[in-house]
Structure 1
């Protein structure tokens, strides 16, 4: 009805397919169908009790009002201390901006830095909102392919060929969504050497850096010599602490950029909920047992789903080193990614995502989230195998 009256740039704004598939799955469930949810990137665990109690305590203590746009000073200080300890990079409270979820850091960074025509290099397959926001602000989205033969790590030589005088921002994500790939310390050092001195900012999405396996050691590019001032780190609480619904994230950046990102907060969200921030403070300073137990359970599920997928003719699956996703190749099935997404939903009752939901280089792959119970994962594998046998 109003399509012709919308601002033209709205046509450039994409979406996150996971929520569309979730809605379709919920509609089928409403019709009485059993659907196994392997599409949504959300831990199936409850938020740890100590964090919930801290949120309740904060509500009872009156943390129900506005806060400064970049966050409560004491919570920013706690995050800075955590980042200094966890990432090995010295940060101060003035270099922290707290936001309602991690996405605002992504959106605000691109909005603050990218002019129409500026080039932004981003991972593909990668989180779809990267490309969506680049296009929305009028930037030129330049994909860097993440290839299975390179363990879904970007090829630094290929990256070098993509950099141009118009390159303004490079987005990296390690551990990665949707592939679970993790950049090695050598990769990170080479990327830093490549961009250092070229006035190229880095948006480093590190939301999964606590969810790693088999001795993987993700390192932040901000720790490389001369890179801290040019790096905006995106991090948050949703994945590590099962706090998706609390909407709590943060960015680490040069204090001048922090002031500008806070300005965007003022113009959009005003601030992040006060009681949520206090719950996040407890998450970082309280017991870490629940977070560690979640990672151990994710590793168990990873091994089950990888082994199960590799036992199905026509499907091959790398064993990811991070996140809670697998990105199996379905090239041996002779069907497109979108076809297989639909077949699994309609015929197997398994909700998964087409690899192309994460960019054109995702063709030939599916993404499964193993943030579900072992029982459901094993049931899904049986259903997938049965459907594949009938193709």
Structure 2
């Protein structure tokens, strides 16, 4: 059984009309937790006790995942009505009621349903110019590589990032790639097809950015037309800079901390506090990360995270305690390395050999 209500929210600039509905039904399937930027959510298929067709509910509360389980019958209040689903938000409420068995027809219908995030998306094939101009979803682009950046690592050295400058008959742009895509071997002159690209403006310049579902293929296309663009077109873009990073020397260790982090994706490796994750309250993780505050030869104080510390201490994995890691770093002093320092954080480190140290 479901009832609908229309709620109008008014701001000084405009009013927004939101249709809400209530639903009582039995869960037939739930998805895994999906991380989207800073918020996690999951889907569930629910068969209404009214006998209507099953419906997808998008639950924006990851802490309901353990209790909204298959077979349970829920009464859900104040769901936001969308064309193809219902949204369970912070304003929604729920309660558990006596179990209702879906009809045979509902069960057959539910078995044929797919969660939205598992359905294959079809990116529209576009030229570079069209892809940079569209507001209608993601694009597939076929283009020639004219410039390749070095791989850089962000997020404490855990995320590889690479930019490639590309051209076709309509124009040129930069494509930003992540993870495995970034670590492929590219050469100027290669022709690629990259799917699921979305337009993004970064530092007042438009670019195409790969999505988590993007795929890249090297292709042979002798008929591809492209602008005669020199690789110097991207020389002013710092992402393509291959200048040697400056050298620095660590003279003193101020602070070292090896700490437990949460391994659940929605918590983004949150540091445990008082023996538990401050977001999900989990106490099960045995995964650790590390941070150190270092003083350089010029008196600058910088922070180094786990991947950087691995290089500086010459170890494959940090499995030690804070005190043990501190001693490893002390034993390596003075430590000379090349790398960038961004917002007082050391990145993209290459430890120089002992013979180069002073």
- TM-score, scaled to structure 1: 0.21
Which structure is higher in helix share? 1
Which structure is higher in strand share? 2
Structure with larger Rg: 2
- TM-score, scaled to structure 2: 0.23
